[in-house]
Amino acid sequence: ITSNDSLLLYLNNTIAVLLELLRKLVDPTDERLEALVRISSAKVKNLSLFTEESEEAEAFRAKLADCGTLYEMCKVLLNTFVESYPSSDEGFIKAFLDRVLEFNTTYGTNVTSFLRWWDEKRGKFFLPEHSSTVDAVKILTMHKAKGLAFKVVFAPFLREEIFRLKGSRWIISS
């Protein structure tokens, strides 16, 4: 089921994890990521790379340092730490990376600046409704749905005496 709120990028679990990974880069003592992992279904691996001193942790830090853009850094974080995510999150990830690229192109690669920018604007970033990656029932008001060509429309609590259209096929059930 989709609604405007369900299409907000920041409400997606994988995006929330990715943002907390960025916050963890800025402040390795930040524990919001661990809290998010405990209360959600997120599957995160290798968190010790932020705090431990090992060859693997050094290699990870070197890989991050080699990232030329914030966009590349987000991809490295996603591949390194997110063990798995639902296929329905693909569209959210692509839309998020588009926003990262937008920031990267305009403002540069500073992670702290990006997080501040994101926190200010996050309520404006949606998964495009026409996305083919979302296969779901759409919940719309009659006003918003007016004029759209849907094959099937459910109108709960609709009574025949309230809404009559000539030439339309209506199935009224009690």
pLDDT at 87: 83
CA–CA gap between residue 173 and residue 167 (Å, rounded): 19
59-102 tens-digit pLDDT: 999 999 899 899 999 999 999 998 888 888 898 999 999 999 99
132 touches 2 (CB < 8 A): no
Its pTM stands at 0.70
**151 to each of 9, 48, 68, 143, 148, how far by Cα in Å?**
28, 51, 47, 17, 10
